[in-house]
Each structure stands twice: as structure tokens, then as C-alpha cells.
Amino acid sequence: MSNSSTMGKIHNFSAGPSILAPETIDNCVKGLQNFANTGLSVLEVSHRSKEFVAVVDETRGLIKDLLNIPDNYDIIFLGGGASMQFCMVAYNLLKEKAAYINTGTWSKKAIKEAKLFGQVDVIASSEEDNFNNIPKSYTIPGDADYFHITSNNTIFGTQFQEFPNSPVPMICDMSSDILSRPIEVSNFDMIYAGAQKNMGPAGVTVVIIKKSLLENPKNGIPTMLNYQTHIDKESMFNTPPVFPIYAMYQNLKWVKASGGVAEMERRAQNKAALLYNEIDSNPKFEGTAKKEDRSHMNACFKLVDETKNEAFMEAATQAGCSGIKGHRSVGGFRASMYNALPLESVQVLVDVMKKF
Amino acid sequence: MSNSSTMGKIHNFSAGPSILAPETIDNCVKGLQNFANTGLSVLEVSHRSKEFVAVVDETRGLIKDLLNIPDNYDIIFLGGGASMQFCMVAYNLLKEKAAYINTGTWSKKAIKEAKLFGQVDVIASSEEDNFNNIPKSYTIPGDADYFHITSNNTIFGTQFQEFPNSPVPMICDMSSDILSRPIEVSNFDMIYAGAQKNMGPAGVTVVIIKKSLLENPKNGIPTMLNYQTHIDKESMFNTPPVFPIYAMYQNLKWVKASGGVAEMERRAQNKAALLYNEIDSNPKFEGTAKKEDRSHMNACFKLVDETKNEAFMEAATQAGCSGIKGHRSVGGFRASMYNALPLESVQVLVDVMKKF
């Protein structure tokens, strides 16, 4: 059965784990069948084999290349998801006080974990507006150990369109918009991202960390939770999530071959423009996020007449649109438009909206 | 390209990640191409889709069934590997004092992490003998919070052939021999295992935990490190490692269809007997572990004349044997004979030894 042909029928707007390019999946199939001409499946080779070490090295190189990461940063691959980073960030870096902006569910979870390790100043929050915007006016305390933000909020459909200037190390959870636009990495001391949106499949988390951030480490950090452990062993302290890394490698090759992050941004802008134009011009629909803070990855919208929700869902499903139910904390609909989603899929959804 | 035909050429003795059955890999390929007739790849479906929730439920059910786990145990799936469990066990359970037996590299790592959280009594160790045996005489303190052992030592080729009776909760790292023999789960309060030997591929860890063990929880455990988090959310607190779980599911189905754990034990005994008989009867070779403690999973052996090491490795490689280099802390050779390794592969290695 050809992967490409089965994919064509479904328009996958899943919020994550999310759509991957057919080429990525085809190459994963090849790796399952015969990895790097070893005659073995990538599922059953030693993580210390020269062939898999090469995959890890090349994956690191692709991320460095695609995001234009300076040499004074390390790149590591961990298990546990971004949720584990909420704890690890604070375990490693919170000595006295940290500053957080609360822009939604993921920020709140990060704040909750940090509070176990020290004082947490939530210097801005859009919670009173059900997180429909990105706060703009706040002061980052100059004596904080670090300042933490979530770049894109999958559930509420908001996104930092410009990043703040921080007087202290800035740490960003970029799980849901990394690789969708060029970023100036040197403005951040740490970026982390669960892979399962634009990076690859679920099961691996990428951490990009400025070497100077770990110069004065805290004591007593458990070995597996200590960033330095994984930096020193180049993500091979213990058995890493081999297949998720391999699939990420295949996906990063696809991003590069497709034109890199600048091209991903161009595509994201086109897809977002197409969908938000329909939301704004069609009197049956309304967007839920403030226009200036709208996410290019996750568009949240509602029917003005919410009694028609089920009928719209039915029409969209009939047209092959999958994964557009809104999160329960917002309601309505959410269309996630990650890198691998073609413009054609957005057009199909827009056509359903027009006809409805 | 057929997976089965490419596999035939290589005899995969890798210590882990290790050989998987061709059926497991073929079914993983199918899931990559069209998961549960969704028209999507298993890499790009929501972990909360009903199809994937069903996989998690069935995987849990298969483990319960294969290991005959009583109803008063929970089964959860985590990322991070068994190395993360070294920390989580102590984070959750070490209140004052814990007892450990040191039988090798993995025990030592578990002990190291536990020391961050309380007093650790190493009540027995075979370190003076370079871990060539399993200690037999020791007293488990009745006032310890728990007692921890490593059932099988991949690096040194030793294995508990009988488990101790413990007056306190017994916790076992069974990463490298789970599913290779029937066990009486009710003798343990917790069993954990990185999947990448007999369970499935790297990237997921199985934890089997008696409900009563968590009745008086410690305070201040980070959310992701707290077993109760994952029990309460049925391993869906955050995005789990979707594909590693799916591959484990396929592998567990293969174990069951092949006759279950009793049949795996029968096969393991036959494979181990074939290889150890050759080691013991061939004057060119000698085993490194004490006979009564020999592992049925990992056989460690040396050439009496170690100047011939390279020549033997060359002969074995020519015959298609992969992954038999011994760990640097033991030297010589190691043949790992996990569930999916056919007896024929052991015969090929034995033939190389006879001819050498």
C-alpha cells in the first residue's frame, strides 16, 4: 500500500502529534525494513552502533543548520516530553527566583513545577481573558535567575509575534512553533520543544541550551534530570528514544529539502492568511484570539450560532478534515496548520466553511 | 523489500536495543502506512484518538495477561528509560532508608540516585568479584522503605535464578529479562523495565506497581516524576511515546501468539543450554560468570588465548553474527539471546566456536 495515496484522503489538522510529510513516513518505513544497509531494522540496532550514532550527529547538525544555532549552544535529545522540561528547567536553573508569563495551559503547568524549586514571579498573564491574547506590558525583574515564556499556545491559538528583550536568561517552550519561522537563537539562553508538531513524532524532546547557562550548576540534581549529563554524553548517557530520533531526522531532512525554515514560514503565512481571511469575512464564524496575537500554527474559531456545531463538524468530516474539534477550554473549532499540512488542506476546510 | 528476507542474513546478538520478531516489524510498517484504518500514519495521530487509546488499553491488557498480574497492580508507560526510574523510585518511595543489592553497573547507578534522597544500605555486593555472581547471604532490614534488586545484569551475564523473600516492599529492575520467564508478581511491590530488550523498541519504560505502595505519598514530587500522576491519567497525562508503545503492542501480540511467557522460557533455556554447553565443553573458551548465576539472556565468555580475539570476532562476523563484542568492563564476548532470537542463530554461533 502506498503511503502517499492513503494520506491524500485525509486532511490532518491534528493539534499534535500532527501531520508529517509523506516523504518522512516513507523514509521511516525504509528504516524499519533495513536501516542504513545493516540488514536490521532501526528498531533493533544498538544505539551505540556507528550507523545510529551517525543519525544522532546528523540530526543535531540539521537542527543547528536549520535554526542557524551559534556554536556556543548545545543540542540534546531527551525523553519525557516538554512536560518533563517544566520540571528540569527549574531543577537545573531556579536558584532563588524565576519570572514567568502565563499565556495558557502549558505556561501554567511550567509555573506549577517551578514553584517546587523556588520563588516564581508571574509577571504577566492573560488568564482573565481566557488567554485570548499575549500580554504586552510587563517588566522582567533583573534579579531573576531566568525568564520563561511559551511561544505558541496550541489550545488558545495565540503566539508571540515578537519576542521580548530580556535582561536575564530567556527560556522558551517552542514545542508548537519551532521550525515554522526563523528565530534569532542568540536572544534565548534555552529553547525546548517536544518533537510531535513540526519536529517529528512523539517520544523525543529537543533542548537547545547556551553553554554559559550551566556554568554555575546547582547541587544534588538527579543524573537523568541534569542537562550536563546529556550534554557530556551527547544524548547517549542511556538508551535514547531511537526511533523517534530517527523519524525526526527524516523529517528534518524533508524541511531542509523543502527550502528550510524561511520556506516553512512562507507556507505558514499563506495557510494562516487563507483560513483567518475566511474566519473574518464569513459572518457565520468568529475567531477567538485577538487578531494581533493569532497563531500561525493553531487557528481557533467558533460558529456564531453554536447550535450548528455538530452540523459543521459533520460537513468538515465528510470533506476529509480530521482533528478540528476545539479544546474543551475554548470550545468551537481548532485547525492546526503545522509545517507538513498542505495549503490544499486549508482550502478544503475553507470551502466547507464557505458552503456551510 | 521484505523484512523477513533481510533479517535472515544477520544473527542479531545485540545487548539492547535488541532483535525483534519479523512479524513485529512487519506490523509496525503497516501502522506507519495506515494506522487502524484511519488513513493516517501512527506517527501523526492524536494520542487521544480512540484508535490510539485502544492500543494503550490493549497493551496494558497484554502485559497483565502475559505476566499474570493481579488486579491490585497498576501498569503505566513512561519515557526516559530505566535510568529515569532509578531516580523516580527513590523520589517517590525513599522516606528514610532503602536497601539495595549491588550486582553490577545498573544496580550501581540505581544506588547512586537513591543516595540523593535518603540513606541507602547496600546489603550485599559482588563488586569485589567483578560482579561474576549474585550474592546469596544477606539480611534485608525490616525497617527499610523498600528493597531493590536488578534481576538480570546484561554487562556481567548474571541473573537471579531465585528471588529473595523480602520483609519490606521489593522493587525490581527487570529491564533485561522481563517476559523471558514466568514470575510471581505478587512477590514484588514494583517491577520496572526499559522496553528495548524483550518488550519492544527503545523509548518507553513499563512500570508495574502495587496500589498499596503509593498509599502514603511523599510531598513535593514534581508532577512528571510522580507515579500517581501517570496512574491517574492512565499514561496519558502528557503525550506518551506513541510509536514505541505501538511497537511494544505489536511485540506483545507476537509473544502471546508464540505461546506466552512459558514458551519464551522454554526457548531461552534451550538457547542458553546450547551456548553454555559449548562454552563449557570447548577448551578454547571459558565463561566469565559463576555457573549457578548465569544469565539466560546474556552469555559472557572469553577465549582462553585472548590474542585470538580479533580472529574469532572476524569468523563470527563472517557467519553473520552481529553484536557479540563483550562490554569493556568484562572483555571477551557477549551473546544476548532475547526472546526474538531464534535457536538457529545460537547454533550458527556455536558452529563458529566449534570450527575455530
**How confident is the model over B23-30, as a mean pLDDT?**
98
CATH entry, A25-257, from 1.25.40.420, 3.40.640.10, 1.10.3470.10, 3.30.470.20: 3.40.640.10
Cβ–Cβ of A238/B113 closer than 8 Å?
A: no
And the C-alpha cell for B198?
524483550
Q: Tell me which chain A residue has its CA closest to the CA of residue B247.
A: A43
Cβ–Cβ of B202/A44 closer than 8 Å?
A: no
Known active-site residue B197: yes
Give the integer Cα–Cα distance in Å for A100 and A97. 10
* Chain segment B75-105, per-residue pLDDT in tens: 999 999 999 999 999 999 999 999 999 999 9
Give the model's confidence band at B9: pLDDT under 50 very low, under 70 low, under 90 confident, else very high. confident
Report how far Cα A247 is from the mean position of its chain's Cα atoms.
16
What is the helix (H) or strand (E) element at residue B246, kind and residue range? helix B242-257
From first to last of its 356 residues, what are the pLDDT tens digits of chain A? 334 433 447 999 999 999 999 999 999 999 999 999 999 999 999 999 999 999 999 999 999 999 999 999 999 999 999 999 999 999 999 999 999 999 999 999 999 999 999 999 999 999 999 999 999 999 999 999 999 999 999 999 999 999 999 999 999 999 999 999 999 999 999 999 999 999 999 999 999 999 999 999 999 999 999 999 999 999 999 999 999 999 999 999 999 999 999 999 999 999 999 999 999 999 999 999 999 999 999 999 999 999 999 999 999 999 999 999 999 989 999 999 999 999 999 999 999 999 99
Cβ–Cβ of B33/A34 closer than 8 Å?
A: no
What is the helix (H) or strand (E) element at residue B193, kind and residue range? strand B190-194
> Which residues in chain A are contacts of B41 at CB distance < 8 A?
3, 7, 20, 25
Angle at B322 between CA B320 and CA B324, to 5 degrees: 125
Give the integer Cα–Cα distance in Å for B325 and B103. 21
Cβ–Cβ of B242/A17 closer than 8 Å?
A: yes
CB B116 within 8 A of CB B109: no
Closest to A41 (Cβ–Cβ): which among B15, B20, B78?
A: B20
Q: Single out the residue of B170, B171, B98 nearest to residue B141, CA to CA.
A: B98
Closest to B203 (Cβ–Cβ): which among A16, A220, A241?
A: A241
Is CATH 3.90.1150.10 the right assignment for the domain spanning A260-355? yes
- Would the ipTM clear 0.90, i.e. be above it? yes
pLDDT value of residue A246:
98
Amino acid present at A344: E
| Residue B3 in this model has a pLDDT that exceeds 80 | no
**Best of B1, B40, B338 to disrupt the A interface by mutation (most A CBs within 10 Å)?**
B40
Cβ–Cβ of B32/A33 closer than 8 Å?
A: no
| β-pair partners for B350 | none
Catalytic residue among B177, B197, B210, B302: B197
Chains A, B: CB pairs < 8 Å: 217
Q: Provide DSSP, B252-307.
A: HHHHHHTTHHHHHHHHHHHHHHHHHHHHHH-TTEEESS-GGGB-SSEEEEEESSGG
Provide the percentage of residues in chain B whose pLDDT is more than 70: 98
Q: Single out the residue of B81, B94, B186, B228 nearest to residue B148, CA to CA.
A: B94
Q: Please, which residues have CB within 8 angstroms of residue A26's CB and are 6 or more apart in sequence?
A: A3, A4
Query: Phi and psi dihedrals of B54, rounded to 5?
Result: -65, -40
How do the domains of chain B map onto residue ranges? 25-257, 261-355
Known active-site residue B351: no
Catalytic residue among B106, B189, B271, B293: B106
Is there a common fold for A25-257 and A260-355? no
Amino acid present at A198: N
**Best of A44, A77, A225, A236 to disrupt the B interface by mutation (most B CBs within 10 Å)?**
A44
Cis amide linkage into residue A17, ω under 30° from 0? yes
Cβ–Cβ of B20/A43 closer than 8 Å?
A: yes
Distance (Å) of CA A286 to CA A158, A275, B172: 15, 11, 55
CB A344 within 8 A of CB A19: no
Cβ–Cβ of B224/A83 closer than 8 Å?
A: yes
Q: End-to-end distance of chain B based on CA atoms, in angstroms? A: 34
CB A141 within 8 A of CB A120: no
Q: Indicate whether this model's pTM tops 0.95.
A: yes
Known active-site residue B145: no
Closest to A241 (Cβ–Cβ): which among B18, B224, B241?
A: B241
* Chain segment A315-344, per-residue pLDDT in tens: 999 999 999 999 998 999 999 999 999 999
CATH no., domain B261-355: 3.90.1150.10
Give the integer Cα–Cα distance in Å for B190 and B210. 6
How do beta strands B170-173 and B190-194 pair? parallel
Cβ atoms within 10 Å, residue B4? 12
Q: Please, which residues have CB within 8 angstroms of residue A62's CB and are 6 or more apart in sequence?
A: A249, A252, A253, A255, A256
> Which residues in chain B are contacts of A15 at CB distance < 8 A?
46
